[in-house]
Amino acid sequence: MERQCRTTRQRLVILEKLRGVTSHPTADEIYSMTRERLPRVSLGTVYRNLDLLARQGEIACLENAGFQKRFDGNTEPHHHVRCRICGRVADVPARFDLPSASGVKVDGFMLTGVRLEFEGLCSDCASSH
């Protein structure tokens, strides 16, 4: 069941470039960085390798970016759980104390808010997993 996985020059360069920065680049930024070394690499290859490396735990894919936008008619303070399989979102009561971040400065950023997000398995995906 373990995936066969060949070591290609493209994957090594992509990983090395990403490990070499702390800027949390987007796929097209990684594409540019990779082309410095491999001018003929394709964007599709970059996406395929980022996906593979993330599934292997070699790199991290940030937060919920890339998902479709979702909207909430409830503007009272509360948290959310997102199903790691299907993306469905449900509410979590706001009963956790969050560090009050406003006004604090971190690494040049003036913080204005915090958000707690849970990740989980919805009942449908849990039963069919």
Q: Which does 129 bind (CB under 5 to 8 A by kind): its own copies, DNA, none?
A: none
Separation between Cα atoms, residue 118 and residue 84, nearest integer Å: 10
Contact 83, 117 (CB under 8 A): no
Interaction of residue 66 with its own copies, rule CB under 8 A: yes
Within residues 81-100, the interface with its own copies by CB under 8 A covers 81, 83-84, 88-92, 96, 98-99
Distance of CA 111 to the CA centre of its chain: 20
Provide the 8-state DSSP code for 2.
Answer: P
For the four alpha carbons of 33, 36, 37 and 43, in that order, the dihedral sign comes to positive
Interaction of residue 43 with its own copies, rule CB under 8 A: no
3-class secondary structure, 89: strand
Interaction of residue 4 with DNA, rule CB under 7 A: yes
Q: Smallest gap, in angstroms, from Cβ of residue 8 to its own copies?
A: 18
Separation between Cα atoms, residue 57 and residue 54, nearest integer Å: 5
Interaction of residue 126 with its own copies, rule CB under 8 A: yes
* Contacts to its own copies by CB under 8 A: 15, 18-28, 30, 50, 54, 57-75, 80-81, 83-84, 88-92, 96, 98-99, 101, 106-123, 126
* Contacts to DNA by CB under 7 A: 3-11, 26-28, 38, 40-45, 47-49, 51-52, 65-66, 68-69
